[in-house]
Structures are given as C-alpha cells and as structure tokens.
Structure 1
C-alpha cells in the first residue's frame, strides 16, 4: 500500500476545516456528515468478514467495536466508551449493524472518545489482523494507522452538539433530518390521520384548527418518531391510541422527523414512502420542495420548528414587552382548544360596543402579564400552565388571542379567551411564537 491514502487526505482536510471554524459543531453543519461518511469509509476499507456464513451475514465495523470489551477485560477501558456502547446496543431506533455503528460514531464525537475504539483495537495485533487485511486497509497498515490515530486525537478538541435522539434513519442514511420535539396541550384528539408505512408512522393529514395543526407544527408527510418518550419505529397499529389513553390529561410530548430539510428539499429516505402514502390515502397532499428559511427570529420568539441550530439575532434578557390593544374577553366553556380561537376573536370584534384599551403585554419567563400602560399596574396575569391555546384569525392577522383556564389548564373546567390587537401582523406573530415557546419553558404539574 502507498504511504498516503486519499481517504486520509480527505479526512485531514475536513478536520482542519472543522477546527478552523472555532465553534460548536451541530447537525446543520454539512462538514459533520462529511466527516462521519469519510471515517466510515476508512473503517470499512479492508474490513474482513470473519464469521460470515457463505457471505449471507454481512459484518460491519460495529461488530468489532461491540466485541472490544471481550478482548480488553484485563485492560482499563474508557467508561464513556462502555456507556456509548451500551446506549447503541439498547437503542430501539437503530436495528442494523450499519445503524448502530453510525449511532456510535455520533455518540463518540459528543463524548470526545472518537479515538478510543481504534486505540483499543490496535493494542491487540491478532484482533486487528482478524478484522482487517493489512494489504488493503488503513487500520492494519503500520504507517497509515499512526496517521489516522493522530487525526482522531485532534478531533477530540472539537466540541460537537448533535441531537442523539435523531437516530431513527441511521439504518438507511447518513443524512440527518430536521427533528422537532413539541409539548402540546392536553387533548383527547390530536387531529391527525396516520398510516403505517415500512415501519414508520407517517402523517397522512392534519385537521385544520386541531392541536397538531396549530402553527403548522405537524404537516402531512412528517413521521412520528416518539410519543410520550416511546419510540414509534416499528410500532404496531393502535399504539398511538393506547398511549393517548394511558396519558389522558397529560401534556402531549411528541417528536417528529420533518419531511422537509432546512434547505427546503424533501428528506430523501421518505420519497418511496410518500409514493405509498399517496396510494393509501386519497386526500394526501404531498409535500413539495420549498424555499429554505433564511429569516432569523429573535430568540424569545423562536418556536421549536423555527430553530435553525444557529445563534439568533438577539438574546434579550428577561421579559419581552409589547404595546397592544386589549379588545375584550369571552367565556368559551369547559374546553380551551385552539379550534375556539377564531370564533372567539370573531365574536369579540363584531360586538357593537367595545372599547379597546392600550395596554402593555409582558411575556415573562413563566407568565403573561397585562399592565396598565400609564400606571404599569398589573391588570391580568396568567401562568403558561393556565393557558391552553393561542392563535389568530387568518383573515385578521393583527388580532390574536389566548385561552386560559381558572387554574392549571389540565384540570380547569372554565376557560376564557382574551383578545388583543397588535400594531402589525408581524408583531402579532412574534407574540404568539413567544407564548408558544413559553409552554416549553414551563414545568407542568398534573
């Protein structure tokens, strides 16, 4: 073998580029994926197939990584290595050698142990020769392995902040999709129609005005990855209904793999599933490619779906305040769902005798506070735990509202809708985004 290898040259260039950026590496950085792909090629180059029965059982680099503890029982091994290994072995989101190996590489970057597996393997020459052909591999070559080890040691100086929960498609691809976690208000019906396609629960439709449809959190084509912390990869039909029943009255914790990437393109592994979904659900509105999101949103107004893994344009301390008009309130009964917002706003603004009042709306860390504009005395105050929904009408975008219960909304039996008018449509949107983000900051007690 030559004294140089193109894969090592490529890997070195990627590492130097990562170090030169001098910032935390996240999933949105394409160089992270490029590094993982290149390292995987190195791990597979010259890899033998020991134990394979007539080539029917394909071995991958994960197989020797998983076997390392059996050959290092008399040698102290990094405890973080053992923890990462156990995490991947027990993960319900990766089921193949390829998926578990990729999950391990990402964990190794996070825990700064990317150099540990190779260093442990090379301590046992017989084990190295068992897995790698010295005439074709980098790992078993006397000169090239030293170069590889020095490069991986450099990588441990780089900080990685990767979403390890976003692992469900590592069996199929290195492409990391957009992954969103939402905390939705308690309800009996999310307002979604799903189909089970190739071990995935895909959204076929989202009902307008439903909890799931608020602010386009969930969209047709998205994939439910977790519900109440349980993986939905390969889940049986009826699993969602059972979990919803078991957690009735709880805030709904749901994680989804978005059908769109940050660049607006469709996540490639779901193309085939979308074709199946079209056949199974006649009303399915297939997602189309769209323009990437370029506009940055102030940190206090970011929804989880707006986060682009980048530094926001501002980081305001404390509360955010806005001068708005308080229109009126209307009692909406025993339910406080988002589907009541539009009707409530409409009934308020159609009243003949209304006296809008200029107020100061303050979005604090755990509360919404309405103050008299002149005296700054508090006139209304609601904790985010009391607020069941918020929104606005599509035909009157400067008007917005939120619905609050007389106590924590999970147990409240009486809800009131409070209607306001902002100075601009954009301001109304930012206020609503801030309220929605408040749900995520608040601890629920049920």
Structure 2
C-alpha cells in the first residue's frame, strides 16, 4: 500500500486553505463540509465491519470512539473527550451511529480534541487491529497514521466556532442548514400552523399579521427545532402549545431551521416533508430555490437573538437576572469544569425538562457574591462568594442551562463540591452570567 493516500492529501490542502484566513471558521465557511467529509472518510477507511448475524447492527467509527473509555485501564481519560462522548450519547437530535460520529467530529473541532481518540486507540495495538485493517486503513497503518496525527495537530491551530445546536440533520447529511434563534414578543399565539411529520415540527402556514410573520422571520416550509431551549425533534404533538402555556407572559424563544440554505437552495432533507404537507394542504406553496443568503451582522440575518432589555441593576450597581433554579448535585472532591456537563445532565435527568417545575428566582451578580433569591427578592435560595466558586459552564447541546460549582469553603482548600444548575431566559443571558461569574474571581475557571 502506498504511503501517500489521497485522503491525507485532501486534508492537507483543505487545512492549508483554512489557515489562509485569520477569521474563526463557522458553519458558513464553504470549505467546512469538505473538511468534515474528508475526516469522516479517513475514520471509515479500512474500518472492519463484521456486523451482526442478521445485519441489525451497523458499525461505524463512532462505535470505537464511544467504547474507548472502557479500555483505558492505566490511563486517565481526557475530561473534555469524555464530556464530548457523553454529549453525543445523550443528544436527542442524533439517532444513528453516523449522526453521533458527525456530532463528535464537530465538537472535537470546536474543542481541539480531534487527535485525542486516535491517541487513546493507538496505545492499545490489539484494539487498533480489532477495529482497523492495517493493510487498507490510515489509522491502522503505522506510517500513515503519523502523517494523520501531524495534520490533526495542525488543525488545533485553527479556531472553530461551529454551532453545536445545529445537529438535527447530521443523521442524514453533512450539509449544514441555516439555524436561526429568534426572540419574539410575548403573545398567546405564535401564529403558525404546524404539522408533525416524521417526528419533526414543520411550519405549514403563517397567520397574516402574527408575530411569526414579522420581517419574514418564520416562513412556510421552515422547521421548528427548539423552543425555550428545549428540543422538539421526536417529542409529543402537544409539546409546542404546552411550552407556550408554561411560559405565558415571557418572550417567545424559538430556534428555526430555515427552508433555504446559504446558497439559496431548498434544504434537501426538508423536500420530502414538504411533499407530505402538500398532499394534505394542496394550497401549500412548495418552496423553490432563490438567491443566496447575504451574510450580515444584523440580528435577524445572523440568527442571534436581540439584546432585549438586559439585566436589571440594583442601587449598588449589581446586575440581576431572572433565572429558574433547577437543582444541585454532589460532585465530590472534583470542582473543575470537567464535572459540569455531566452534573447538568444528571440534574436534568432527575428533575426533567418541564421548566414549570423549576423554582422561579433572580440571580444577583454582586461585587463579592453570587446570590439567588425568590422572585420578589425577599428570601435567599443560595449565596456563594467568588472564592467558593471553583468553576462554571454549560452543556454544548443545552446552552440555556448553566451551572457553577462551589465548595463548602474557599475552593482552593475545599474537599467537597456541589454543582448548582439554573435555566436562563436566553442563550445570551446564560453566556453573560457565566462570563460575569468567571470575572468575579480570578481563580474561577469557566467554559461556554
């Protein structure tokens, strides 16, 4: 087998092109799909696929990535790698091994850990040979895997800012749809006619004069992906009205997968859903291709939620945010960021994602403390000084939920930590609160 492989040549060429621009690499980058497709081809080349006796188990590269923690007997698992695996396994938006593997590649690019699973695999030659044919693979070939690792380390010098919430179609395609996050004014009705097709919420029509029609934010043929930070894919048919009822009086926060891609073409996986709608509603206007989307820094074009009113400030100048307290969990002696994603998942599993059951409150980011009170501010729920807080962060797939870890005394000497989980009103609030907590005390570590 030649020591040069076209996949490695392609990967090197794509990375060289990406390095020419100093800007962060986002989903709109035209070379991103080629990069991800090439990485996936390398991961699949020479992969042994015995399958099950009846062909019921379709093995893919995600299978060995997922299994790695079970084989690290005398080796410490990279905590970011471990959190990435957990995120892919628990995400409700990816249902197949292909989708989970693709989600992992996107997380790994963002977190600069793409080489980590291969490093772990190569430390166990028998495991490497179990998964890869040494005569027909790159990862299983001693010489070519060295070239691959050099390129992957090279990739860590690039800054990726991929939207990790845009995962709903990774089971089907590497083409990334346009995902918009909107904050709409409080109202009892959104003004959309929706149909549930193959477990997805598709917009069949828009009510004239409704908040959804304003500025053509939501269009017939769009897909509603999230509402108030909660996934809609695969949920019950009553999920949307239930969420609107639970958040009555709040602004409406909705994430929408647009019918058109950035190139102006109709997003291909939606076409089959549109045909199904047209059978039920003959007047449904079948979307067609149009001019490419012009990227802009305005809120509507970029998909970012508008600033809104922002936090309230009290007489001392402290910022106060409306939040919901979800719960807390014991994380033992470890207070670093590596425990946060798992702790949030554990609390959400125990409490559920029905936000009506969470405790309403407000969070004050004071000069020396983070204080959570009941809605009228008369009773404290939690108070932690910045020296007690060891880390803060949020999950990559549920960014409206955030958390901080605090010890039973100053975090540098504490031997016991708890993780406190909250729900913010918006993704922007969540990030701002985390940034403020991290700035409150120099020893606090954080990630967003």
| Shorter-chain TM-score above 0.5 | yes
Could you say what secondary structure the match of 2:34 adopts?
helix
Separation in structure 2 between the aligned mates of residue 249 and residue 53 of structure 1, nearest angstrom: 55
Alpha-carbon deviations, 1:153-210, whole Å to 9, x = none?
A: 1001100000000000001100000000111111111110011112211000011110
**Where does residue 302 of structure 2 map in the other structure?**
307
Whether the aligned pair in 2 keeps the contact of 1:366 and 1:442 (CA below 8 Å) is no
Residue aligned with 1:21, SS: coil
Structure 1 residues 59 and 277: CA distance shift in structure 2, 3 A:
same
Alpha-carbon distance change, 48 to 441 in structure 1, aligned in 2, over 3 angstroms: closer
Q: Do the aligned residues in 2 keep the contact of 1:52 with 1:59 (CA within 8 Å)?
A: no
Please state how far the C-alpha of 1:51 moved relative to its aligned partner. Answer: 5.6
**Over alpha carbons, which structure has the higher Rg?**
1
Partner Cα distance (1:47, 1:441) in 2: 42
Structure 1 residues 442 and 212, CA, compared in 2 at 3 Å: closer, same or farther?
farther
Question: How many equivalent pairs are there?
Answer: 315
What is the SS of the residue equivalent to 1:159?
coil
**Aligned-pair CA distance for 1:63:** 0.4
Q: Is the 8 A contact 2:51 2:58 kept in 1?
A: no
Cα distance between partner residues in 2 of 1:152 and 1:44? 16
CA distance in 1, matches of 2:429, 2:47: 50
Unmatched runs of 5 consecutive residues or more in structure 2: 311-321, 323-425, 431-448
TM-align CA RMSD: 2.3
TM-score of the two chains, using structure 1 as the length reference: 0.67
Equivalent residue number for residue 401 of structure 2: none
Partner of 2:90: 90
- Distance change (3 Å), C-alpha of 1:364 and 1:185: closer
Shift of 1:270: 1.0
What SS does the aligned partner of 1:277 have?
Answer: helix
Q: Hey, what's the Cα distance between the residues in 2 that align with 1:186 and 1:103?
A: 33
Contact 1:183 1:440 in 2 (8 A): no
2:164 maps to which residue?
164
Asked if 1:264 is matched to 2:264, the reply is yes
Alpha-carbon distance change, 440 to 5 in structure 1, aligned in 2, over 3 angstroms: closer
- Moved >6 Å (runs of 4+): 439-443
Q: What are structure 1's unaligned runs of at least 5 residues?
A: 310-362, 368-384, 386-438
Cα deviation 1:331-384 (Å, max 9, x = unaligned): xxxxxxxxxxxxxxxxxxxxxxxxxxxxxxxx99959xxxxxxxxxxxxxxxxx
Distance 2:192 2:247 in 1: 17
TM value normalised by structure 2: 0.67
Asked if 1 retains the 8 angstrom alpha-carbon contact of 2:180 and 2:303, the reply is no
Following the alignment from structure 1 to structure 2, what is the Cα–Cα distance between the partners of residues 146 and 166? 32
Q: Distance in 2 between matches of 1:442 and 1:101?
A: 30
Residue 106 of structure 1: aligned partner: 106
Give CA deviations for 1:189-232 in whole Å, capped at 9, x if unaligned. Answer: 11100111122110000111101111111000000000111111
Q: Which residue is equivalent to 1:354?
A: none
Give the whole-Å Cα distance in 2 for the aligned partners of 1:19 and 1:264.
27
Q: Distance in 2 between matches of 1:131 and 1:365?
A: 51
CA contact (8 A) 1:194 1:205 kept: yes
